[in-house]
Structure 1
Amino acid sequence: MRIFWLRVVVCGLFAGLGCGAGHAEGRLLAAAGLRCDAAAQPLAVEDVAPRLEWRLTAASDMRGVGQSAYRVLVASSQQALDAGQGNMWDSGRVESSDSFGVVYRGKTLAAEKTYFWKVMVWDERGDAAPWSAVGSWTMAPAEWTAKWIAQAGTTNETAEMPLFRRQFAVRPKLVRAMLYVSALGQGEVHLNGRKVGDAELAPSWTDYRKTVRYEAYDVTAMLRQGKNAVGVMVGNGMFNVVKTPERYTKLENSFGRPMVMVQMRLTYADGRSEAVVSDASWTAAAGPITFSSTYGGEDYDATKEQAGWDSAGFRGDGWKPVSVVDGPGGTLATEVAPPIEVMKTYAPVKTTEVKPGMTVYDLGQNFAGWPDVKVRGPRGAVVKMVPGELLNEDGTVSQRSSGSPQWFSYTLKGGGVEEWHPQFSYYGFRYVQVEWTSGKGEVASLTGDAVHTSSQVVGEFASSNEMLNRIHHLIVMAMQNNSVSLFTDCPHREKLGWLEETHLVAPGLIFNSNLQGLFAATEKNMADAQKADGMVPTIAPEYTVFAKQGYGVFDDSPEWGSASVLAEWSAYRAYGDVGELQRSYPVMQQYVKFLEGKAKDGIVAYGLGDWFDIGPGGPGLGKQTTLGVTATLMLYEDAVTMAKIARLLEKPEDAAGYEALASRIGTAFNARFWNAATGTYDKGSQTANAMPLALGLAPEAERAEVLEHIVADIHAHHDHVTTGEIGYPYMLRALMAAGRSDVVMAMMMRKDPPSYGSQLEAGATSLTEAWDANPHSSQDHFMLGGAEEWFYRGLGGIDFDLSRVVNAERITIRPAVVEGVDWVRCSYESKLGKIESDWKKENGSLTMDVTVPAGETGTVWIPAADGAAVTEGATPAEKAAGVTFVRRINGAEVYRVGSGSYHFTVK
C-alpha cells in the first residue's frame, strides 16, 4: 500500500512530465524518427508554423499497441529541454493518435535560430512511454544582405567557368556558423580548402525567374579562429544552356551568366553575430573548367588549377573584383528536395581495347552519373571519355539513343597519379570509351559514380520468379536514374521534367523511395510553369516551348498537365501532407477550370493521346485509341479527385461543384464512347476499355463484359500489351481490381516484344523507352514502369492510402497468389512505419507473414478456398490475439488486425 501511495504522490508531482494513468509501464517504446517539415534536423525551415512528426515503436512481440495521446516540448536551447522546459511550446497532453502533421503552435520563431524538441506518447491504455531522443530544426534567414555576383567582363557564352573567393576573420569563441549558398547554374562551395557537404549538382533545377533554391549548411566545425577563406566554383547547369556547335545541345535557354550568392552567419558566445556575404569585396578568376554544358559534357584543364584558391593566405595574383549583378528574378527558397549525391560506384566488368589507343570500359549497368578516372602522364596530355548506353558493331561506344556528340575530357597537370570526375554535367551510360586526344598517358583505373537523389530507399520486393526480379531491377534502376532534383524522363538526351510519369507511375516510385521532398519540389515547379489561363505545360520547369521548334502538340496535353492534380493527390495518399494540398489547391483549381474550358459537349479531344501505344507505324501519338478518350478521362479523374480534396480541405461547395463536373463528364464520355452492341468502349482497344473500368466509370452491369474484352484482347495478342504509357497503369489496376493477376503474370513472362522480357533479352539493365528496346530510343526511361505497382500492390498485396476514411483500411494487405510464383517478400517503410507482407506456397499450404506498424490497424485478405482452415500461429485465425474476422468474400477471408506481426497458414 505504501508503494501504491508513493507512486500516486510521484505522479502527482510529475504529472506534467508524463506518468501513466493506471499502469506502471507503457506498451509503446519511445517515439523515434523525429522530423520537422518532413526532414530530419532541417537547417532552413521557412514555415512559421512547421509540422512535426514522429514514428511509433513497440516491442516486436506486442500486438494492438496504439497511441492515445502525445505531448510535445519545444525549447530555445538544449539545456532548457533537458530540464523539461518547453519555453517555446508545451502542447500539454493532447488526446490524439496523430503522429504526423502536428502543427507547431508556440511562440513566434526567430530567424536563423535553432529549436530543440522531444515528444512523449501514451499508449492505448493510457500508459506513458519514455521521452524521445531530442530533435531540432533551424529557421531560415529572414532577409538576405548578400548580393548576386558574377565574374567581371564575362557573358553567358564565356566558356571558362569562374571561381569566386573571399577571405574573412573569425573571432574567438565561435559557437555557430551557418552558410547559405546559391550558385547558378550548379555550384560547389569550399571552406578552407575543403568542399562543404556531399551534395552534387546543387541547387535544384527551377524556373529561375520564379524560384531560386539555396542550400544551408552548419559549417561551425570547418572554421577556425583567425583567417579563413570561402570559395565557390560553378558550372552552367540548366541555368545557362547555350548552343555548342560541336557538341550535343538539346535546347537553348539562358537565364544569364553564371552567378553566386553567399551568406554566412557567425554567432559568438557573447550573443553577437556578424555576416560574411557576397558583395563587391569578393574576387574572381577563370577556373580550370573550360567547357560546361548539361548536355554536351565538361572539360577540365588541370594545368589551370590554382592551388590554395579556396584557402586563407592565397595571394590571388590576377584575380579581379567581381561585378555585382541582378539576379534572375526568382524568390530565394530553401531546398525541399533531398540533395543529389554519389549513391553508388560501379567498377568495370570488362575492358576492351577496340582500336589501338582506344579502350572501352563496360561498367555492367546503365546508370546516371559520371566516370571517375585515375590517370598518370605528362603535363598537357588530354584524356577524352565518351559515355554511352550501347555499343556499335565494331565495339566502340554508341550515343544514338542518348544525344550526340557528348564527352568529358581532362587535361593532365603532370607529376603522378591524378584523379578527376566531372562536377556539373552528368549523363546516362553503361560504357565509357577512353582515348588520348593529345599526348600519351596511362589510365590507372576508371569507375562510374551513380549520381541521383539521396531520397531514402523504403521498399523491398523479391520473389521466387527470377524474371520478375529482373523486371523489378530494370524499372527501379530507371526510376533512380531519373530522380534528381526533379523527375526526368531520361538522364542524357532530354533531362526534362516531363510530368505524366509523376502521376501515372507514382505508386511504383513511392513504394521504392521516400519522395515526399521531390514531389513537393515538382509541385512548385508546376505552379511556376502554370500559365495565366491555368494551363500547365507538359514539362516543368518549362525550359523550352516546343511550338517554337515546330512541335506545338508537345506543349499542352491533358495527360501531362493533369499531374498538377493527380501527382499531388498521389503524394497526399502516401505522405498525408495537408499543408501541401492547401498550397497547391489554387493551382489545381485553375488547371481543372482550364481543362473544362477545352471540353466540347463534355469531350476533351486534343493532346498526345495514348502515347507510344502499339499499332501500325512507329511509336509516338496514340493510334489504337481515338483522340479524346484519354484526355476526357483525365478531366473526369481530375474532377473526382478535386471533390475528394475539397472535402478534405473543408470546402463543401467546391466539392459539390466538382462532383457535378465529374458526373457531367462521365455521362458525356459514356454517351460518346460506349458501344452497347459490342460491349466495348471506342474501338475496343486495351486502353479504351481499361481506363473507364479502372476509374469506376463503366456501368456496373457492364463491368464484367468490359473486363472480358480486355482479357480476350490480351490473349488475342499472345499475352502482349498494346496500350501506350497512358493506358498501361490503368489496365494493370483494372486487372488487379478484378482479381486477374494471372493475366498480368502471363504478360510479364513474355520474352518477345512488346514486353519487359524482350528488353531483358536485348541486354537492357534499366527500363527502356520503347517496349522492344529500340536502340534509337532511350535505354533509360521509366514511363513504362507501371508493373512496379503490381509487384508491391498486386503480388505483395500492400495497398497503402492515407486518404481513406476508415483508418483500418489505410493499410490493406491483399496479395495475389499466382501460378509461377512460389513465394514473395515485400515490405514498405510507410509514413506510419514498416509494413511487411510475405507469402509462400509449400506442400499444398499457404503461409502469410504480415506486419502492421505500431499505432495502426490493418485489413488483411487471406486467399482461402471454401472449407480451408485459416490459422494464425497455432490458433484458428478468428480466435487469435489481435485478430478479428470481418467477412468471407471472393475466395478470401478478411480480417482486421492490430499492430504487430502475424503468421497465417491456409490448409
Structure 2
Amino acid sequence: MKVSRRGALKAAGTGLTGIGAALPAAAKEPAGALRADRLRVEWREAPVGIDTLRPRFTWEPMARDADARALTQSASRILVARSRAALNAERGNVWDSGRVAGSRPAAQPPTPLALDPHRDYHWTVETWDQAGKSCGRSAPARFVTGLLAADQWQAEWIAATPDRPSGPHSRGNDRSPAKLPEPLPIFRRTFDLSGRLRRAILSIAALGHGDVTINGAPVTRSMLNPGWTDYRRTILYTSHDITALLVPGPNAIGVMLGNGMYNVERVPGRYVKFVDSFGQPKLIARLDIELTDGSTRTIVSDRNWQTREGPIRYSNVYGGEDVDGRLEVPGWDRPGAAGADWRTPFRVEGPSGTLRAQGIPGIEVQRTITPLRVTPLSNGRVVYDFGENCSARARMVLRGPAGSRICLRPGEALGPDGGVSQRSFNASPKNETRFEYILAGRGAEVFQPRFIHQGFRYLEAELLPPEGGGEAPRIEKVEVDFVHAGLIQVGNFDSSEKLFVDTHRLIDQALRSNMASVLTDCPHREKLGWLEQTHLNAPTILYNRDAAALYEKMAIDIADAQQADGMVPGIAPEYVAFLDKDGGDTIWRNSPEWGVAAVLSPWAAYRAYGDRTVLEMAYPSMGRYMAYLAGRATDEIVDFGMGDWYDLGPRPPGESQLTSRALAGTACRYQALRALADIAGVIGRPAETARWTAQAGAVLDAFNRRFFHVDRASYDTGSQCALAMPLALGMVPAGRERAVLDNLVAAVRANGNGVTAGDVGFRYVIDALTAYRRDEVIDAMMRVTDRPGYGQQLQGGATALAEAWDANPTKSLNHFMLGHGEGWLYGALAGIRIDFAAAEPQRIVTIAPRPVGTTRAAAARHRSVLGEIVSRWHKDGGRFVLEATIPPGPGGTVMVPTSAPERVTESGKPVPGTPVPGGLEVLLGSGRYRFEAAV
C-alpha cells in the first residue's frame, strides 16, 4: 500500500502518523498515557548552585505502557514552590506556569522569579497526553540557588601571601627563566553551631582549584574545581549543600588550594607548555546557615580564617606534583587542630572576571584500573602497564622510613630500554613530568596527586632511600583512577563487525580522556581547548555524551577569548597566545577552520538539544567573527591559517599539505554564514537571515570561480579534502555533483581506500560520502589496516585514538580530533539522527540504517532530550529486520532499506509509506516497531 508523503504528513498532523493511524492500535490508552521523568534544571538533576532568575526546566516524557504508540505531550504545567508542603498542596508560590499547550518537554519563566540566594526550591510538572488527558504530576524535584548577584557574596578574596598582580601572560614565545616552586597553602575556618539545623549552603571559588572539606569530609566527589576559564572575564564557583556534614558544637571548613591553569609557572627540571599566571592561589567563600527557628548565620572568607603551608610543595598541570608527607598536618581540617604555624590570611584583590555558577559536571573518578603487567628494569626501577591509555591519577600505598622517596614518571609509550618515554608529551629527561612523594614514616601512606590529571598508560616508579642513607620505600599497592568530567553517557554503539566496535571504543576512549571543564586536545602535552574539534567532532561528542551545559560553557569561553577586532583564537580559554617572534599571529592562533566554532559549535548544540539559549547567548560573538572574516577576505576568499591540519602528505603532518588553506578556510566561512542565516531565523531575526544569506551567496560564487575546475569537475588540487568540502556543504554547481563525487571516490580508491584528509577534511569526507549514499566507500576506508587509519592504529595496539593517522609515537597518543568516523557509525550504519533544525517536526528524529558490506548487524541507542531513540538491525538470510524506538513527541521518520518497498511489514502487517531511493520511508508516532523487508 502506497501513501504519498503529503498524505502521511496530513495524518501526522493529529499527533498520529501514517503507520500509527493505519496499523491496528494496541490496547486503548489509559488516562494519562505518559509520565514525566528525568526532571532537570539548567541541564542538571537536583542541582545545587543555580544562579539565574529564569531557570530552564526540562523533563523526559515516557510511556507508561512500553508497547503504546503515537504518544505525545500536548500541554504542561510547572509548579515551583518554597517547600514540599506547598507543592503537595498544589501551590506554586514561586511560579505557576498554568497549562501551556505544546509538545516540547521544557519550560522557562517569561519573567524573573523571586528567588533568594542559597535556598532550596521544589518543583513538579504536570503533563497532558495527545488525548488531552492529564498524566498527573511528576515526583517532586529540587534545586538550590547559588548567589544571584555580585553584591550577595559580601566576602573577601583571601590568600596566604601578599597580593600579587596578574601576569605574566604567555605570548607563545615566552622564554622566562625558571623559578623555585612555591608550596601550596591550606586554609581553615572554625565555628560553633547551636540549635537545630534546617539548611547550610556553601558557595566557593578556590583558585586555581580547591579541595574543600567540612569536618574532614569532602563536600563533593568531583575534583579540579572550579573549571578552567579566562579568569579576567569569567570565574566559576561551586555550591554545596553541606547540611548533612555539620554537627552540633564545633565545626571546621578546610580548603587546600591548587594552581591549575590559574597559575602555571616554569620550574627547573619540569615540563610546561607555557607560562601564565593570574595571581597567587586564593579563595572567596560564603556559607549561609539557617536553623529551624528561622534564625540565620553567615560565614564569609575574611581575616578570621587561618592559613599555613600545606604538604604540596609543587603542583603544575604539566610538570606534575610533589608532596612531602612529613609536612602533613593531622586533623588540620577538623575542629581543634590549630597550632602555632597557623596565621592570618591576606586580604587580596580577586581576578577581574565575573563570578558565575559552575553549570558543568566536575571531573570524577569513573573507574579504577589495576596493572596489567609489572616489569622490573635493570636500573632498579619498575614499570607498570595499565593496559589502556587514559586520563588518570595514580594512587600508591607505600611503606618506608621518613625521608624515603618515590618518583613516578607517566608515559604513553616505552623507550628502547623498556622505561617510560615522554616523547609524546614533548617532555625530556631535563624537563619532564613526574610525581614525587616523601614518606613521613607513619606506616601505610597513600600518595595520589590532587591537582593534576595526566594521560598515560605506563607508570615508571623509582624508589629512593632517605638522603642520609637507609632503606628505600616499598610499594604495597598501585592503581590508577580513570578520571574525566561526569558528562552523562547517552549513547551506545554495537555491531557484528568487531573492527567497528573497536573503532568506536578507540574514539570514545580519547573523547572521555579529554572531557574536562573544556574539551581538551590531549590530556598531557597541551590540555588546551582547541576549538575545531568542538564543531567538526560534534557528532562524536553529542551522540555519546550529554554535553548541553558544556557547549554553553564553551560558547562563553569563545566570547571571552574573542579579540576586539572580532578575531576568535584557535583555543579558548586562550591561556597562551601563539605569536611569532615579532608579535604577530601564527597559524595556530588565527585559523578560520578553528574560529568558525564561534558559530558552528552553538549551532551543533541547538540541533542536538533544541534550546535556543546557546544561540541567543553566542549570536553577538558570531556576527563579530563573520565581520572579521569579511574584513580579512580578498574577493571573498580567506587565505590564512592551518587549513586541513594533519593531512597525510609527503612531509611530517602539520599544516595542510594536499589542499590549499584558502579552500578550507573559505568553505568554512561559507558554512558558518549559511548556519548563521538559519540561526537568525531560529531566534527571530528574519532581516538578518537575508543579510547572511546574501553574504553566503557572494562567497559561494567567489569560491567556485577560484577553485572549481569546470573541465574536469574537480576542486583545487583534487585532494580528498578539496573535493569533499564543497560536496558536503552543497557548494557544487547544480548538475555537477555526481561528477565531483566520482572524483572523490576515485581519490579514495587511488590511495588503496586509505584516508589522506586530516583534522578538518575527514569530517567532510564522511559527510559527503554519507550524503550521496556511498557508504561502501566509507566501509572500505574504515576497514583499512595496511596504511594509516583507524584499523592500522588498532592493529598496532592503540587503546585511544592518536593525534596522527599513523600513530607516530612522537605525537600525542590520546587525541580525539580525528574521531569523525563515529558520526558514520551512529548516523549511517546504525542510522540514528536527531536534528531540531529539521523543517518538519517528524524529521527531528530519523532512523535510517545503511547496511553495507559484510556487516550482519548493528545497533545504536541515544537518549535524546525527547527520550530514548533505538535502532537495531540484523540480516537474516534474505531478510532485513529493523527494531526501532521513537520517543514520545512529534514522532519520527524511519527509512527501511530494501529492494522491495512494497513488501515491507511491521509486526507482520503491510506498512504504508513512500518509496525512496534505497528503501521505504515511513512517518510514524512514538513507540517500538519491528520491520521486516527483503534485503
What is the TM-score of this pair, normalised by structure 2?
A: 0.92
Whether the aligned pair in 2 keeps the contact of 1:89 and 1:105 (CA below 8 Å) is no
Query: Does structure 1 residue 701 correspond to structure 2 residue 735?
Result: yes
Contact 1:460 1:826 (8 Å CA) reproduced: yes
Pairing 1:830-841 to 2, within 5 Å after superposition:
830-841=864-875
Q: Return the match for 2:923 from 867, 889, 896.
A: 896
Q: How far off its partner does 1:154 sit? A: 8.6
- What does 1:51-66 correspond to in 2, within 5 Å? 51-58=56-63, 59-66=65-72
Cross-structure match for 2:392: 369
Partner of residue 148, structure 1: 157
Distance in structure 2 (CA, Å) of the matches to 1:476 and 1:903: 29
In structure 2, the partner of 1:219 is 242
Superposed CA offset, 1:434-453 (max 9, x none): 11133411111111111111
Counterpart residue number, 2:117:
111
Q: 1:897 to 1:429 in 2, by over 3 A?
A: same
Give the Cα–Cα distance (whole angstroms) in 1 for the partners of residues 293 and 504 of structure 2: 57
2:499 to 444, 447, 467: 467
Shift of 1:331: 0.8
Measured against aligned partners, the alpha-carbon deviations of 1:587-621 in whole angstroms (never above 9, x if no partner) come to 11111111111111111111111111111111111
After the TM superposition, which of the residue ranges 549-558 and 161-170 deviates more from structure 2? Answer: 549-558
Instruction: State the shift of 1:416 in Å.
Output: 2.0
Indicate yes or no: 2:104 matched with 1:98: yes
Matched, 1:722 2:756: yes
Shift of 1:868: 6.1
List per-residue Cα deviations over 1:130-159 (Å, max 9, x = no partner): 210111222222311111111135969652
Which of 124, 128, 132 aligns to 2:138? It is 132
Report deviation, 1:856: 3.4
Q: 1:552 to 1:106 in 2, by over 3 A?
A: closer
Tell me, in whole angstroms, the C-alpha distance in 1 between the residues paired with 2:464 and 2:817. 38
Alignment of 1:580-599 (within 5 A): 580-599=614-633
> Quick check: 1:528 aligned with 2:560?
yes
Q: In structure 1, what is the equivalent of residue 19 of structure 2?
A: none
Distance 1:753 1:235 in 2: 44
Secondary structure at the counterpart of residue 181 of structure 1: strand
Is residue 319 from structure 1 mapped to residue 342 from structure 2 by the alignment? yes
Query: Is 2:596–2:668's contact at 8 Å kept on the other side of the alignment?
Result: yes
- Partner deviation per Cα, 1:75-116 (whole Å, 9 max, x = no partner): 111110011111222222222212124436575222223221
Q: Is the 8 A contact 1:152 1:321 kept in 2?
A: no
Partner SS, residue 808 of structure 1: helix
Query: Aligned residues: percent identity?
Result: 41
Q: Which residue of 1 aligns with 2:441?
A: 414
User: Please, which runs of 5 or more residues in structure 1 have no aligned partner?
Assistant: 1-22, 879-884
Instruction: Tell me how far 1:49 sits from its aligned partner.
Output: 1.2
CA contact (8 A) 2:104 2:889 kept: no
Deviates more, 1:103-112 or 1:408-417: 103-112
Q: Please say if 1:337 is aligned against 2:360.
A: yes
Q: How does 1:769-788 map to 2 (within 5 A)?
A: 769-788=803-822
**Alpha-carbon distance in 1 for matches of 2:197, 2:296:** 9
Correspondence for 2:423:
400
Aligned partners of 1:196 and 1:555: how far apart in 2? 39
2-side partners of 1:799 and 1:98: how far apart?
A: 18
CA distance in 2, matches of 1:659, 1:362: 55
Among 18, 34, 40, the alignment partner of 1:35 is: 40
SS in 2 for 1:547: coil
1:167 to 2:172 alignment = no
Out of 467, 473, 497, the position equivalent to 2:529 is 497
Runs of 4+ off more than 6 Å: 154-157
CA distance in 2, matches of 1:480, 1:107: 37
Per-residue CA deviations over 1:26-54 (Å, capped at 9, x if unaligned) read 25232111111111122221221111111
* Equivalent runs, 1:370-449 vs 2, <5 Å: 370-404=393-427, 405-439=432-466, 440-449=472-481
Measured in 1, the distance between the counterparts of 2:218 and 2:92 equals: 37
- Secondary structure in 2 aligned to 1:577? coil
2-structure distance, mates of 1:547, 1:24? 65
Structure 1 residues 271 and 460: alpha-carbon distance in aligned structure 2, compared to 1, 3 A threshold:
same
How many angstroms does 1:375 deviate by? 1.1
Partner Cα distance (1:97, 1:395) in 2? 61
Matching residue of 2:510: 478
Query: Aligned-pair distance for 1:496?
Result: 0.7
Indicate how the Cα distance of structure 1 residues 84 and 527 shifts in structure 2: closer, same or farther if over 3 A, else same: same
Superposed displacement of residue 549, structure 1: 5.8
Structure 1 stretch 284-293 or stretch 269-278: which is displaced more? 269-278
Deviation at 1:819, TM superposition (A): 1.1
Matched, 1:511 2:543: yes
User: Structure 2 CA distance, aligned partners of 1:463 and 1:230?
Assistant: 51
Distance 2:110 2:249 in 1: 39
Return 86-95 or 530-539, whichever deviates more.
Answer: 86-95
- Structure 1 Cα separation of the partners of residues 597 and 923 of structure 2: 34
Picking from 449, 464, 489, the partner of 1:457 is 489
Q: Distance in 2 between matches of 1:489 and 1:850?
A: 35
The letter of the residue matching 1:120 is: E
For 2:851, the aligned partner's letter is: V
Structure 2 equivalent of residue 622 of structure 1: 656
CA distance in 2, matches of 1:85, 1:190: 37
Q: Distance in 1 between matches of 2:720 and 2:910?
A: 43
- Give the 3-state SS of the residue equivalent to 1:120 in structure 2: strand
Greater relative contact order, per chain length (Cα 8 Å cut-off, separation 6+): 2
User: Does the Cα contact within 8 Å between 2:898 and 2:920 map onto a contact in 1?
Assistant: yes
SS in 1 for 2:826: helix
Equivalent-residue separation in structure 2 for 1:45 and 1:155 (angstroms): 31
Q: For residues 252 and 126 of structure 1, what CA distance do their matches in structure 2 show?
A: 62
Separation of aligned partners in 1, 2:488 and 2:410: 28
Give the structure 2 partner of residue 749 of structure 1: 783
List per-residue Cα deviations over 1:552-575 (Å, max 9, x = no partner).
221110000100000010011111
Corresponding pairs, count: 878
Residue 340 of structure 1 and its aligned partner are, at CA, apart by: 0.8
Structure 2 CA distance for partners of 1:373 and 1:181, relative to 1, 3 Å = same
| CA distance in structure 2 between the partners assigned to 1:554 and 1:95 by the alignment | 49
3-state SS, counterpart of residue 267 of structure 2: coil
Output the CA distance in 2 between the equivalents of 1:824 and 1:689: 29
- Cα deviation code 1:249-284 (max 9, x no counterpart): 110000011111111111112222221111111111
State the AA in 1 paired with 2:562.
Answer: Q
Match of 1:292 among 315, 318, 342: 315
- RMSD of aligned residue pairs (Cα, Å): 1.5
Residues in 2 aligned to 1:76 and 1:347: alpha-carbon distance in whole angstroms: 47
User: Is the contact between residue 638 and residue 665 of structure 2 (CA under 8 Å) also seen in structure 1?
Assistant: yes
The CA distance in 1 between the partners of 2:415 and 2:216, in whole Å, is: 43
Indicate how the Cα distance of structure 1 residues 549 and 256 shifts in structure 2: closer, same or farther if over 3 A, else same: farther
Q: Which residue of 1 aligns with 2:77?
A: 71
* Distance in 2 of aligned mates of 1:24 and 1:543: 57
Partner of 1:152: helix, strand, or coil?
coil
Aligned residue identity for 1:415: R
One-letter identity of the residue aligned with 2:483: V
Question: Which amino acid letter does the alignment assign opposite residue 697 of structure 2?
Answer: S
User: Are 1:123 and 2:122 matched, yes or no?
Assistant: no
Q: Quick check: 2:484–2:513 contact (8 Å CA) kept in 1?
A: yes
Q: Which amino acid aligns with 2:94?
A: M
CA–CA distance in structure 2, aligned partners of residues 333 and 539 of structure 1:
21
Which stretch shows the higher mean deviation, 250-259 or 193-202?
Answer: 193-202
Is the contact made by 2:830 and 2:858 (CA closer than 8 Å) also made in structure 1? yes
Q: Is the 8 A contact 1:489 1:496 kept in 2?
A: yes
Query: Any residues of structure 2 matched to 1:666-677 within 5 Å, and which?
Result: 666-677=700-711
Deviations 1:829-887 (A, max 9, x none): 11111000000011111100000012230100011103662111111122xxxxxx1x1
Give yes or no for the alignment of 1:852 onto 2:890.
no
Deviations 1:798-846 (A, max 9, x none): 1110121311000011111011211001110111110000000111111
| Alpha-carbon contact 2:181-2:313 (below 8 Å) kept | no
Structure 2 CA distance for aligned equivalents of residues 547 and 224 of structure 1: 54
**Cα distance between partner residues in 1 of 2:463 and 2:426:** 22
Which residues of 2 match residues 218-257 of structure 1 at below 5 A? 218-257=241-280
